[in-house]
Amino acid sequence: MKSGITLVVLMGLLLSQYAQAASLVVYSGRKDQFIKPVVAEFTKETGIKVLLHSGSSTSLLNKLKLEGDNSTADLFISNDAGNLEKGKEMDLFLPVSQTIANAIPQNLRASDNSWIGLSARARVLVKNTNDKSADFVTSVFDLADPRLKGKLGITHSGNESYIAGVTVYMASAGKEKTSQWLAGMKENIDGKVFNKHSKIVKAVADGKRSVGLVNHYYIYRHLEKHPKAPIKIVLPDQGANQMGVAWNVAGIAIAKYSKNKQDAERFIAFVTSEKGQSLFAEVNSEYPAREGVPAAAEVPKAGSYKVAPVAMPALGQQRNATLDLIEKVGMP
């Protein structure tokens, strides 16, 4: 009897050690500061360790493709739906179960559940409240107005959010109007673009630019550090016949050659749960992809403004057409 009890105890210890040793490898295109708090809570609840390999989403996607079945990756996280959909097209992912996928609206995930949206961001305008020269701007297309020459801040055209936004505008307003818009903005920036959205917000706050096109959360991060900064958010294209705000999502997928699919699904189940989604909202001021989970109190409430009705998979499906248009106009 004693030996039987000892065997059970030993087996329990071995299983416990195995659980602690178990790990997931995540190729992450998001900054560690936005992922680590969620990872830490997952590990605390499950005992499953998570190893983050961080880099640009595009580079990590190419790495997955080159590695093939030699890859050690279990999960891929991107800050852009376009990259996620491209990964699907390259057959780099495994679909998650329908039960897990159902937590996220269909327009925020792949049609076959091979990737799942986690958090959404809005493309908005940041304006300097002391500068009235951009008061007429209520649409992103107003950014092409010659009155903004030398007063506009945008990122370089290789920025993933920039590309995604152009895709939404092209899908909503057509290629010709979008092409004219890009050409007008090219004139207004006087050859200067920014490598970070945060720098656009700062330039507007410092009065070096009158208006900028950015992801919404950069405005709130700046105001958190500089609460008296003379800036405000403007939600563009809210009129009856206008398209609404462009959204993009960060998302997650199980790598095709994952050796730990079961644990990978547990991770996705956690990050799409109410608790996981609340953590995302808390650390990054984005919109939780799961309905019913509120975003941070300071951001405009989801559902309170018009969003362009473009499903997130389109950001990948139309990506090449978008890049062709950007190149044709010659955006820097």
Q: What is the 3-state secondary structure (H, E, C) of the chain?
A: CHHHHHHHHHHHHHHHHHHHHCEEEEEECCCHHHHHHHHHHHHHHHCCEEEEEECCHHHHHHHHHHHHHHCCCCEEEECCHHHHHHHHHCCCEECCCHHHHCCCCHHHECCCCCCEEEEEEEEEEEEECCCHHHCCCCCHHHHHCHHHCCCEECECCCCHHHHHHHHHHHHHHCHHHHHHHHHHHHHHCCCCCECCHHHHHHHHHCCCCCEEEEEHHHHHHHHHHCCCCCEEEECCCCCCCCCCECEEEEEEEEECCCCCHHHHHHHHHHHCCHHHHHHHHHHHCCEECCCCCCCCCCCCCCCCCCECCCCCCHHHHCHHHHHHHHHHHCCC
Which of 88, 136, 77 lies closest to 113 in space, CA to CA?
88
Identify the pLDDT of residue 22. Answer: 52
Same domain, 126 and 111: no
CATH code for the domain in which residue 157 is found: 3.40.190.10
Residue 79 and residue 132 in one domain: no
Indicate if 7 and 17 belong to the same structural domain. yes
In terms of residue numbers, what domain contains 135? 121-246+318-329
User: Which pLDDT tens digit goes with each residue over 24-67?
Assistant: 999 999 989 989 999 999 999 999 999 999 999 999 999 999 99
Q: Is residue 185 part of a domain?
A: yes
Residue 242 located in a structural domain: yes
- Residue 233 in any domain: the answer is yes
Taking a C-beta distance cutoff of 8 angstroms, is the pair 307, 296 a contact?
no
Q: What pLDDT, on a 0 to 100 scale, did the predictor assign at position 282?
A: 86
> Within this chain, do residues 30 and 70 fall inside the same structural domain, yes or no?
yes
Residues 101 and 26 in one domain: yes
Q: What is the pLDDT of residues 278-303, one digit of tens each?
A: 998 888 899 999 999 999 999 999 99
User: Which of 212, 223, 220 shows the shortest CA–CA distance to 124?
Assistant: 212
Any domain includes 279 = yes
Q: Are 279 and 156 members of one domain?
A: no
**Is the separation of the CB atoms in 197 and 204 below 8 Å?**
no
In a domain, 312, yes or no: no
The reply to whether 231 and 324 lie within a common domain is yes
- Domain count of the chain? 2
Domain assignment of residue 43, yes or no: yes
Residues 158 and 242 placed together within one structural domain of the fold: yes
* 311 within domain boundaries: no
Which whole-number Å values give the CA distances from 318 to 30, 312, 313, in the listed order?
23, 10, 9
Residue 30 sits in the same domain as residue 170: no
Task: Tell me, yes or no, whether 237 and 275 share the same domain.
Answer: no
User: Does residue 135 sit in the same domain as residue 232?
Assistant: yes
| pLDDT (0 to 100) of residue 304 | 96
What was the pLDDT predicted at 280? 83
Q: Are residues 202 and 325 in the same domain?
A: yes
Residue 67 covered by a domain: yes
Distance of CA 110 to the CA centre of its chain: 15
User: What's the average pLDDT block by block, 10 residues per block, for the chain (332 residues)?
Assistant: 42 39 86 92 97 95 97 97 97 97 98 97 98 97 98 97 98 98 97 97 98 97 97 97 97 97 98 94 92 94 96 97 97 96
